[in-house]
Structure formats: structure tokens, C-alpha cells
Chains A and B, each alone.
Chain A
Amino acid sequence: MSTTSISLGAGSRARWWEFAVWILLLLLPVLLPKHSLLVSEITIIALFAMSLDLVLGYSGIVSLGHAAFFGTGAYAAALFAKHINPDPLTGLLVATLVSAVLGLVCSPGILRGSDLTRLMVTLGIALILQELANKMDHITGGADGLQGVLMGPVLGRFEFDLMGQTAAYYALAVTLLVFLLLRRWVHSPFGFSLKAIRDNRLRAQAIGIPVHARLMAVYTLAAAIAGLAGGMQAQTTGFASLDVFGFDRSADVLLMLVIGGTGWLWGGLMGAVLFKTLHSLVSALTPQYWTFWIGLFLVLLMLVGREKLLRPWTWGRRS
């Protein structure tokens, strides 16, 4: 084994704190039984942010419409449970597949053009889907949302309870599984080729990486995982409404990822936890004008830079 392959592989070994964090996360429903609903909500958002990380952090594509896939997954899971089969795992699979197909169909749009073009195409797709869900009210319930989704028990044994215990474990288990798979995946040659494309597309092409095929693949994968997260959201809340496609959702998840840091999977998780904590703190003070403070936070974060803002002890120093 040469030195290079050792250093490339170094990041793939799990560190002790990663185990510790996951054990802590899995214990959360027991430690905080009253906040189980919050735990499942954050977990789902974290998974969503992780999927965006694949596109943004690993491939360098700025997307303003990632909620398109989240929403598609949510509606797919809700409709499937309502009309065909209430089993959660089958529904999740369907949600994932539907979003993956959508991602594959949309992926040519992100290959060409500038950042602005990509921004517009992704945003446009989310808007189109939101319009569709709004207008096809005989299927989706329109602006009232899709109500009355009754889920069957997970694995035929664990019923969804009002306290959200099952939901929390369900979300945590699925997220852990996806996290482990993604972890393997981003440290594979495939993952490295994506980083190469992100850092220098021309050179990546020159050493024989099929840039377009790789980008389409990662976009489809990210779409599938976003759909998975959306599907879980619909299943655990028993509800899907238009706001799953909303611009706010796409912007929020971008923010979480930036808070947590892009390009290392944990960013989505940490960002989601920080963001949601911040959200509940500020909302408790000013419920209506929470967007003002999140806006201010964004502006400051971007002006000062993440590295500096999250390390208050370096504020006095000049960079």
C-alpha cells in the first residue's frame, strides 16, 4: 500500500466520537421521552440536509430547490399509504424510488450552464411541483394538504404512538442506516471522483472521469435520499402539505448545511440540531419575526465567515 492510498483512506475509519454521538442519538427517545416528536423531526431534517450535502458539499452544485425531492417523497409516501398499502417500509421504498426517478429526469438540467442557471433550474423544478400539488387538488388535497394518512405498524409490530416514541426510533434507525451507507460511499473511489469534479472539472475530465454520468448519478442519489426523508416526514406526521415544496424549506436546509459545514456528512446532522435549537429558542422570544433573526444570522455568517463566527475566541485576532 502506497502512502497516497493510506492518506486517502484515513478519513474513512470511524473515530471514537462518531460512535459516541450515534449511541447518544439512539438513546435520545429514552432520555427525553417528552421530546420524541422533536427528535424524529430533527432526525428527518438532518437526513434531508445530508442528501443536500452530497450535491453541494461533495459535488459543488448550488441547489435552491432541493425541497422538490423532499416534497415528492412526502406526497408519494402519503398517497401510497392512503390508497395502496399502509406498511411504512414499503411506502418508504416507493417514496425513495419515485424521487430517484424524478432526480434522474431532472439531472440533465444541472449539468450545463453557470451557477445561476443551475440555481434557476432547481428552484424552477420545486416551484413547478408546488404548483402541480396545489392545482391537482382532487389527488393532493390542494392548499388544505393531504390529510387522514393512517400508517400501519413498523415491521408489523411497532404501532406509531401519539408520543412519537416509535416515530423517533424509526427515523433514527433509518437515518443511521443511510448514514453508514453514505459514509462508505463517499470514501469509495466514486466519492473521490466527485470531489475531483468539484475541485476542478476540466482536470477531472482530463484524467478520464465521466463527469456528466457521475454528476447525474450523485444527483439521483441525493434526490432519492431527500425523497426518503420526505417520505418519513409524511409517515411520522400522517400529513403532507404544500409547504414541503416551499422555498423556505430549501433555504433552511442550505443554512443548516452551511452551519454544520459542507462536505463531511456530519454537517447535515450537526447543522440540523443547531438550527432547530436556535429556531426553538428564537421562536420562544418572537414567534412571528423569527425570519428576521435567521436572516441576520445568515448575513453575519456570510460576512464574517463560518470559521470565525463559530469560534468566538478568535474574534479579537486579525486573520
Chain B
Amino acid sequence: MLTLLFDGVAYGMLLFVLAIGLSITLGLMNFINLAHGAFAMAGGYTLVLLMQKAGWPFLPSVFMAFAVSALLGLVLEVTLYRRMYHKTHLEQVLFSIGLTFMAVASVDYLVGSTQQLVQLPEFLKGRTELWDGALGMGHYRLAIIVVCALLAWGLQWLLVHTRFGAQLRASVDDRRVAAAMGINVNTIFMATFAVGSGLAGLGGALGAEVLGLDPVFPLKFMIYFLIVVAVGGTSSLTGPLLAALLLGIADVAGKYYVPKLGAFIVYTLMVLILMWRPQGLFTRGNA
């Protein structure tokens, strides 16, 4: 029972780091980016390729996963995404689906369609049992929880206590007024998009062992990222965090107790929540 809860929290934390970039993109630019999972996949494959082909150790590879995805995000934002901001949601959706299809096919072509395995370093393997096995904690999952919690806390701090955070919040609340105050919204957004993509890449790298990694990753988990954002709302960090934890726990518990229904429970919950509160569970009034 506690073990399930623990695994659910670890899963939820991963989802939070994966999805937070999407939440910011949506909140800031009102841009529906279905290709967000592709950045996560880029991070995952960076990790796997660096470790397998170049023989890098685990931790530097994770860092590189962040850097590569962030760079990819930066380049794509400047070259492609920026042109799409003023277009309709339908066009944005189709554009990002197109990007996702391209990413899936390219990875399939370059790396192959097999599931990739990650060799964890020695110090992250193993398991600690507490209270006569009532709570079994895999060390890797424990590390995930700690890292993601630190990240969430760091992001919150960045958002609340720094000048950049204040500018970002101002731009989210009202882009035009923020621009009129002399805030360079474009630069802010470029940086945010890069960091968001980088975080997705980091999540993809950390999650490669837990979630699995193959070319259809962006399509398989697209719905999960969207759930986190749609249920959590885009107005704060806490909303998506709570939504991600809820989703993680519900998914793990659902698959354990009623494996026959599997993902069915999660989807049904999502549809019902969205029918009940279309703006998301954790939002202040009508956003």
C-alpha cells in the first residue's frame, strides 16, 4: 500500500517535471504545444546514446540531456514556434502534431524502434525496506522524488523571488501591458521555452528507466502531459504539481488493483473532471 503510494509519488513527480514546460508555454503564449513530448524524448535519447555509444557516466549524461533539449527548444522557438503564436489553436495543434510525427519517424529511422534500456549506476540501484516491508523504496525512485522536489522548489523560488520570475508572471497575466512596461516579452518567452524544453528533456532522461523509451514516446505520453496541464491549470506551479501527483498515484494504483481496466480509469477521471471544472481543478475562478 505504502509502496504503491511511494511509486505513485515518484511517477507523479516525473510527470510534473515533464509537463511543467508545457504548462508555462500554454499559460504564457496560449500556445497548445502537442510536440512537448518530443523534447522529452530528445532528452531520453541523449542520455541513452551518450551512455551506450560514448560511454559517459550517468550524471553528466543527465545534465547533457537537459542541455541538448534546452538548446533544441531554443532553436525551434526562434525558427519555427515564434511564427505560430498569433495563429489559431487549430493551426497550432496541427503544426505541433506534424512536429511530433516528424520526431517519431526520425528517431525510428536513426536509432531504431526498439525499447531502450538504461544502465543505472551502482549507487542508485537497490531498495530499502521499512517497517517489515510495508514500504519498499527503490533508491532510484527515491532519487527521482528528491531531485524533482528540489526542482519544483527551485522553480517556485525562481518564479516568486527573482526579477526574471516577476517579469515572467507579469507577461503571463497580461502580455500587452507587460510589454508596455518595457519587459521584453519575446526574450522572456524564448528563455522560458528553452528551460521548459530542457526540463522536459531532463524528465525524459530520468524517466527513461521508469516510463520506458521508444520512438512513440511523444504520442504515448502526450495525453498525460495534457492531463497535468488541463487539470492543474496554468496559473500556478502548485496546480500542475498536485495534478501530476494525483495522476501518478491514480495511474499506479489503478494499474495495480484493477489491471484489466488499466488506463481506462485515468481517462475517465480526466473527462469527468474536465466536464465538472472545465478550467481545471486548481484554478482561481475563471482564468
Q: With A115-B32, A302-B91 in contact, do A108 and B84 touch (Cβ < 8 Å)?
A: no
A122 to chain B, nearest CB (A): 9
Which residue in chain B gives the minimum CB-CB distance to A297? B98
A223 to B160 CA separation, bound complex (whole angstroms): 46
B151 within 8 Å of A by Cβ?
A: no
Which stretch from A17-25, A189-197, A202-210, A285-293 is at the chain B interface? A285-293
B93 within 8 Å of A by Cβ?
A: yes
Which residue in chain A gives the minimum CB-CB distance to B93? A62
A290 to B101 CA separation, bound complex (whole angstroms): 9
Q: With A254-B94, A303-B80 in contact, do A117 and B102 touch (Cβ < 8 Å)?
A: no
A120 to B278 CA separation, bound complex (whole angstroms): 10
A56 to B89 CA separation, bound complex (whole angstroms): 12
Which residue in chain A gives the minimum CB-CB distance to B95? A302
B194 to chain A, nearest CB (A): 20
Which stretch from B4-12, B167-175, B268-276 is at the chain A interface? B268-276
B134 within 8 Å of A by Cβ?
A: no
B178 within 8 Å of A by Cβ?
A: no
A76 within 8 Å of B by Cβ?
A: no
Contact of B89 among A115, A121, A296, A299 (CB under 8 A): A115
Q: With A114-B279, A302-B87 in contact, do A120 and B226 touch (Cβ < 8 Å)?
A: yes
Q: With A135-B264, A289-B108, A303-B84 in contact, do A108 and B275 touch (Cβ < 8 Å)?
A: yes
B274 lies within 8 A of A298 (CB): no
B279 to chain A, nearest CB (A): 6
A148 within 8 Å of B by Cβ?
A: no
B106 lies within 8 A of A123 (CB): no
A294 lies within 8 A of B101 (CB): yes
A295 lies within 8 A of B267 (CB): no
Q: How many residues of B contact A (CB 8 A)?
A: 44
In the bound complex, residues from chain B placing their C-beta under 8 Å from that of A123 are 223, 226
| Most chain A beta-carbon neighbours within 10 Å: one of B26, B83, B95, B274 | B274
A112 to B274 CA separation, bound complex (whole angstroms): 9
Contact of B108 among A115, A288, A296, A301 (CB under 8 A): A288
| Most chain A beta-carbon neighbours within 10 Å: one of B80, B99, B106, B264 | B264
A92 within 8 Å of B by Cβ?
A: no
B267 lies within 8 A of A128 (CB): yes
In the bound complex, residues from chain B placing their C-beta under 8 Å from that of A251 are 97
B30 to chain A, nearest CB (A): 9
Residues of B that sit less than 8 Å from A by CB = 26, 32, 80, 83-84, 87, 89-95, 97-106, 108-109, 219, 223, 226-227, 229-230, 260-264, 267-268, 270-271, 274-275, 278-279
Residues of A that sit less than 8 Å from B by CB = 56, 62, 64, 108-109, 112-117, 119-121, 123-125, 127-128, 131-132, 135, 247, 251, 254-255, 258, 288-292, 294-299, 301-303
For the complex of A and B, the 4 pairs showing the least CB-CB separation, nearest first, are A113-B278, A298-B98, A295-B101, A292-B105
Q: List 24 A-B contacts (CB under 8 A).
A: A108-B275, A109-B271, A109-B274, A114-B278, A115-B32, A116-B229, A120-B227, A121-B271, A121-B275, A124-B271, A127-B223, A128-B267, A131-B267, A135-B260, A135-B264, A251-B97, A258-B90, A291-B104, A292-B101, A292-B102, A294-B98, A296-B98, A298-B101, A299-B99
